[in-house]
Amino acid sequence: MSLRVLYATFKRNFIISIRAYPMEFFIGKILTAVFTVFSAYFMYHLLFKGQINNSFKEFTGTSDYMTYVILGGGIYLFVNSTFLNVSRSLITEMRTGTLESIMIAPFNRVGYFLGNMLQQTITTSIEFFIAILISVPFGINLSLINIPSTILALLISLVSYLGMSLILAAGMLYLRDTYISQNTVFLSILLLCGVTFPVEYLPKYLQYISEAIPVTTSLRLIRNSAMLGLGIENQIGNFIKLAILALLYNSVGFLLLKKVEKIALEKTYA
């Protein structure tokens, strides 16, 4: 991995974010997470009258629905921002006419994508903490948080999100489409991965699909660590599972990109 490529990509993307995107762009992403909390709050208090089914407690280990949803909305913001912007990096290069230059240059893929991921992680972390602070009046409770377990869960989660973004990047570059592919993926994650409700409520065949997506295990680990205070040793199975998924997704993603890059260049000069 080239640290120079990583730093150069990180610096370039930061400058672009500051100069090219208006403040409303960042506010809009924060509001997405906040509106998720709003809708859950009104459903919980107005529709369900503050009552939680016993099955919810059984599946999640808690009756604190609001904290469950607030963390889900916050992590979904993280997934949305990192996943979207990292996966769109190469097709953005193609649209701006710089993809060929990158291919010709000594292009270190690992450094390039890690630079994109690092920039998005820092930017999204600020948005995430603002969204969490706004959600405090709605009843988030992190008094039992296990900090080492939460940090480790977040770190492995970020690696898995990078792998997911690489696969999506290959798909976008091949199809030369961002709108349909990215929105299909994000809606699928929102439905299948337990952002606002336990995946156990889904039909069995959808649960199998859900467990194959790293976001599901990521959310489970972060919630167990932050809400229930479970340590690393209590969740070692889920940590190993998420690490394997992260390795698998990254390996497949880089292999797909190598093949798709050649096809994209052939289409460009065809």
d(C-alpha 109, C-alpha 254), whole Å: 8
Which 3-state string (H, E, C) describes 94-145? HHHCCHHHHHHCCCCHHHHHHHHHHHHHHHHHHHHHHHHHHHHHHCCCCCCC
pLDDT value of position 270: 53
pLDDT below 70 — which residues of the chain? Answer: 1-2, 19-26, 29, 33, 105-107, 264-270
Output the pTM of the full model: 0.86
- pLDDT 10s digits, 177-191: 777 777 888 889 989
